[in-house]
Amino acid sequence: MQHLRAFGLCLISSSVLALACSDDTTAIPSETSSTGADETSASSTGESTGSTDGETTDPGTETGLATETGEPASFCGDGVLDPGEECDDGNMADGDGCDSACVSACGAEFWLDINAEAGWFDVLAIRPGPAPEAVTLAGGLTFDDDTPGRLRVATYADQELVSAIESPALGSAGTAALPQTHVVSSVSLTEAGDVLALGVSTEVLVEGQEPVTRYWLGRHAADDLSVVWRVELPLTGPDADFRPRDLAALANGDAIVTMTSEVAAADDDILVVRRSYADGGEVWAAGLSGEFNGGWSLDSAGQVAVGAGDRLWAAGIIRVDWQTFEVNLFELDPNDGATLWSDVPLADPGNAHEQLVFDLSAGPDGYVALGVGVLGPAFDFSYGAAFAYQDGQPLWSLLPEQLPWDEGQPYVAPRVAVDADGDVLVSGTYTHSFNFATASRPWFVAVAPDGTMLCNARVGMPGEAGVVPRNGFAGGGRGLANVDTYGNGGMGPGSDGNWLVGVRGW
């Protein structure tokens, strides 16, 4: 199998949106973002580019009447992705994901600046809003200084901010000698409108000594995001590898949390815990493990997702033997955590690679999508892929050979989001050449439940590097992505831009 080479391997901090990429990424100076050279670089690679006012640059439809050798010039509809084309599906038809001007339905229709004046908006969830085309973003608000973080929920419609709520500070700032920090690492919006949040607090209790770290789960009221209750989640092992990983909410508001648990020396399992909406108390806990137990059986937890009808899935890494680690997908009974089925979407390619659970999203009718990344011995040998299941049966996989782009390798970091119809938006990054440097840029692919690729596009602000920390859908099925564009300041706080990007629609 040809692999989806390298995935920009961005390890995304859930507390502060700081992404450390292990590719050949070079920061792009922010002052070059408006130069003509960068505009040319973006359009000549078939990218959908945009501006802050929501306009999208027309990529053009043909490169000329003839080549210098006298051969017929390339043109839109020849099935070849030429410079200036977002897509080329080999026909001149409209309405099939790539129109007669070679403009992709997955291209960026608008770029909406979602920076908050007070601090960096770390988007951790994108959900359809209360009205058609509306979207609600939830996450943490972090600061460049030692100000304690906050929880933030914002709703947008028609490319305008409709409302925004910020919680009180998540804790005390402490003192200069005894500082404290408090940040949000994962959120889930309940059907009642309340917000569940995982967070981490660090406190220096004795001047000059290392801070004490506490992990917690809190329920925040819908109207003002004040704390209704908060419970501490003690580590289930000796270090931060055993911290809470991910969070989802059932229809009644109960929280589902994933962690890695040390059950014995050199024997770790995946732990899934259901906690009560009423007070955060434990309802049940379920351990997930492979057949290999003891003797360095180091399983590890990943993401969790809840779909329609309270269908519950969890994903994590299972160590099969001494040298084999594989991503496993589990469906669990929400009533007691019993495993209903499990599967391995991508076999371990060998002990020179390490698999990662990159993303997990659930939708209607027992439908779930999974993004898997693989770290290789070097960047060029890393890759990623996306998979979908329905009722335990594999539906489709998005593998490297299915992607339409020959240049700009590698294509990596697969984020997945499922809409109400079962369509999946897959977003990631690839290595883009700016002629004088290379850096990550976003790509989008939409896939139907039967595996049909509905559209595809690479997108980017002219002259800006960028990554996709999160994607999702608005009401009405509009695809969306949070894109962090960055220059010399890096990513997250201090970067060049924090955007909500609207996908044209298919």
Q: Which pLDDT value is given to residue 70?
A: 59
Q: Which pLDDT tens digit goes with each residue over 432-456? A: 888 878 889 999 999 999 999 999 9
Burial (0-12, 13-18, 19+ Cβ within 10 Å), 67:
exposed
DSSP state, 36? H
- Please name the residue that has the structure tokens 């501006």: 51
Strand order in the sheet with 120-128: 120-128, 135-142, 150-157, 160-166
CA 131 to chain centroid: 24
Per-residue model confidence (pLDDT) at position 286 = 97
pLDDT number for residue 71: 59
The beta strand positions in 250-344, using DSSP E, are: 255-264, 267-275, 282-288, 297-298, 300-306, 312-319, 325-332, 339-343
> Which pLDDT value is given to residue 405?
86
Query: Given this model, what pLDDT does residue 37 score?
Result: 31
Q: Which residues contact 371 (CB under 8 A, 6 or more apart)?
A: 357, 358, 359, 360, 384, 385, 386, 414, 415, 416, 426
- To which residue do tokens 């009180």 refer? 168
Contact (Cβ atoms closer than 8 angstroms) between residue 109 and residue 502: yes
401: number of Cβ within 10 Å = 8
Residue 381: the pLDDT is 76
What the block records as the tokens of 48 is 């959908």
Nearest to 343 by CA among 288, 300, 292: 288
For the record, the structure tokens of 498 come out as: 């924090």
User: Can you list the domains of the chain with their CATH numbers?
Assistant: 10-59+103-503 (2.130.10.10)
Measured CA to CA, the distance from residue 260 to residue 245 in angstroms comes to 8
**Cβ-based neighbours of 458, under 8 Å, separated by 6 or more:** 45, 46, 47, 48, 86, 405, 408, 430, 432, 441, 442, 443, 444
Give me the amino acid identity at 229.
Answer: W
Taking a C-beta distance cutoff of 8 angstroms, is the pair 483, 50 a contact?
A: no
The predicted structure's pLDDT at residue 375: 81
Low-confidence stretches of the chain (pLDDT beneath 50): 1-45, 50-67
- Within 8 A by CB and 6+ apart from 71, the residues are none
Residue 504, Cβ neighbours under 10 Å: how many? 22
For residues 446 and 471, what is the distance between their CA atoms, to the nearest angstrom? 12
